[in-house]
Amino acid sequence: MSRFAAPIAEQIWDMKYRFKAQDGTAIDGSVEDTWRRIARAIASVETDPAKWEEKFYHALEDFKYLPAGRITAGAGTGRAVTLFNCFVMGTIPDNMGGIFDGLKEAALTMQQGGGIGYDFSTIRPRGAEVKGVAADASGPLSFMDVWDAMCRTIMSAGSRRGAMMATMRCDHPDIEAFIEAKKDPARLRMFNLSVLVTDPFMAAVKADGPWELVFDGRVYKTLQARDLWNKIMRNTFDFAEPGVIFIDRINTMNNLSYCETIAATNPCGEQPLPPYGACLLGSINMAALVKNAFAANAALDLEALDDLVRTAVRMMDNVVDASRFPLPQQEAEARAKRRIGLGVTGLADALLMVGARYGSVEAATITDTWMHAIARASYLASVDLAREKGAFPLFDADKFLASGSLAHMDADVKDAIRTHGIRNALLTSIAPTGTISLYAGNVSSGIEPVFAYAYTRKVLQKDGSRTEEEVVDYAVRLWREKMGDAPLPEHFVNAQTLPPLDHVRMQAAAQKWVDSSISKTINCPEDISFEDFKEVYMAAWDQGCKGCTTYRPNDVTGSVLSVSEASDKTPSEAPANGQQDGEVIYLSEPLDRPAALEGATYKLKWPGSEHALYITINDIIISGHRRPFEVFINSKNMEHFAWTVALTRMVSAVFRRGGDISFVVEELKAVFDPRGGAWMEGKYIPSILAAIGGVIERHLIEIGFIEGEGMGLKSDPHAEVVAIGAPRGKSCSSCGSFEMRMIEGCMTCASCGYSKCG
Supply the DSSP string of 371-405, one letter for each residue.
Answer: HHHHHHHHHHHHHHHHHHH---TT--HHHHHTSGG
Q: Is the peptide bond before 242 cis (omega within 30 degrees of 0)?
A: yes
Confidence of residue 712 (pLDDT cuts 50, 70, 90): very low
205 by DSSP, 3-state: which?
helix
Fold of 86-264: Anaerobic Ribonucleotide-triphosphate Reductase Large Chain (3.20.70)
Confidence of residue 715 (pLDDT cuts 50, 70, 90): very low
CA distance 12 to 17: 7
Residue 649 pLDDT > 90, yes or no? no
Task: List, as one string, the DSSP characters of 260-309.
Answer: ----EE-TTSS-EE-TT-EE-EEEEEGGGGEESTTSTT-EE-HHHHHHHH
Confidence of residue 638 (pLDDT cuts 50, 70, 90): confident
Q: Indicate the range of 162-176, 332-346, 415-429, 640-654 predicted with least confidence.
A: 640-654
Q: Which residues contact 251 (CB under 8 A, 6 or more apart)?
A: 257, 261, 262
Please give the pLDDT value at position 591. 57
Residue 716 pLDDT > 50, yes or no? no
- The mean predicted confidence, pLDDT, of the chain is 85
Burial of 493 (0-12, 13-18, 19+ CB in 10 A): buried
CA distance 9 to 19: 16
Residue 568 pLDDT > 60, yes or no? no
The span from the first CA to the last CA of the chain, in angstroms, equals: 32
Phi-psi group of 107: left, alpha or beta (phi > 0 → left; psi -120 to 50 → alpha; rest → beta): alpha
Please give the pLDDT value at position 112. 76
Look up residue 67 and give its amino acid: P
User: In what helix (H) or strand (E) does residue 414 lie, and over which residues does it extend?
Assistant: helix 411-420
Look up residue 139 and give its amino acid: G
675 DSSP 8-state letter: T
Q: Which residues contact 29 (CB under 8 A, 6 or more apart)?
A: none
User: In what helix (H) or strand (E) does residue 135 lie, and over which residues does it extend?
Assistant: strand 135-136
**pTM for the complete prediction?**
0.77
How long a stretch of residues is the chain? 758
Residue 233, CA atoms < 13 Å, CB-side half-sphere: 18
pLDDT digits (tens, 9 = 90+) for 279-296: 899 999 999 999 999 999
Which residues are catalytic, by number? Answer: 266, 268, 270
**Domain chopping of the chain, boundaries:** 86-264, 598-721
Give CA angle at 569 (565, 570), nearest 5°: 85
Look up residue 40 and give its amino acid: R
Please give the pLDDT value at position 643. 83
Please give the pLDDT value at position 750. 63
Would you say the C-alpha torsion 358, 361, 363, 365 has a positive or negative sign?
A: positive
User: In what helix (H) or strand (E) does residue 550 lie, and over which residues does it extend?
Assistant: strand 550-551
User: In what helix (H) or strand (E) does residue 281 lie, and over which residues does it extend?
Assistant: strand 281-285
* Whether the Cβ atoms of residue 385 and residue 314 lie closer than 8 Å to each other: yes
CA distance 526 to 517: 27
Would you tell me how many other CB atoms lie within 10 Å of the CB of residue 624?
6
Please give the pLDDT value at position 717. 30
Give CA angle at 49 (48, 55), nearest 5°: 100
pLDDT digits (tens, 9 = 90+) for 121-158: 999 999 998 877 767 889 999 999 988 888 877 764 44
CA distance 496 to 227: 30
pLDDT digits (tens, 9 = 90+) for 526-556: 899 999 999 999 999 999 999 999 998 876 6
Determine the distance from the C-alpha atom of residue 441 to the mean position of all C-alpha atoms in its chain, rounded to a whole number. 20
pLDDT digits (tens, 9 = 90+) for 594-634: 777 888 899 988 887 777 889 999 988 776 678 888 899 98
- Dihedral pair phi/psi, residue 462, rounded to 5°: -65, -25
Determine the distance from the C-alpha atom of residue 668 to the mean position of all C-alpha atoms in its chain, rounded to a whole number. 23
pLDDT digits (tens, 9 = 90+) for 673-689: 767 778 887 777 888 88
Look up residue 559 and give its amino acid: S
Give CA angle at 714 (713, 720), nearest 5°: 90
- 667 or 499: which carries more pLDDT confidence? 499
Please give the pLDDT value at position 259. 96
* Whether the Cβ atoms of residue 87 and residue 117 lie closer than 8 Å to each other: yes
Please give the pLDDT value at position 155. 60
Residue 35 pLDDT > 50, yes or no? yes
Name which of 179, 184, 263, 183 is nearest 229 in CA terms.
179
pLDDT digits (tens, 9 = 90+) for 84-126: 888 999 999 999 899 999 999 988 888 777 789 999 999 999 9
CA distance 357 to 493: 7
CA distance 287 to 146: 43
**Helix runs in 44-139, H state only:** 49-60, 69-74, 96-111
| Three-class SS of 428-496 | ECECCCHHHHHHCCCCCCCCCCCCCCEEEEEEECCCCCEEEEEEECHHHHHHHHHHCCCCCCCCCCCCC
Confidence of residue 426 (pLDDT cuts 50, 70, 90): very high
In order of 171, 176, 254, the CA distances from 260 in angstroms are 21, 28, 9
pLDDT digits (tens, 9 = 90+) for 577-597: 333 332 222 333 455 667 778
Name which of 395, 506, 391, 402 is nearest 448 in CA terms.
506
554 DSSP 8-state letter: B
* Whether the Cβ atoms of residue 734 and residue 512 lie closer than 8 Å to each other: no
pLDDT digits (tens, 9 = 90+) for 385-399: 999 999 999 999 999
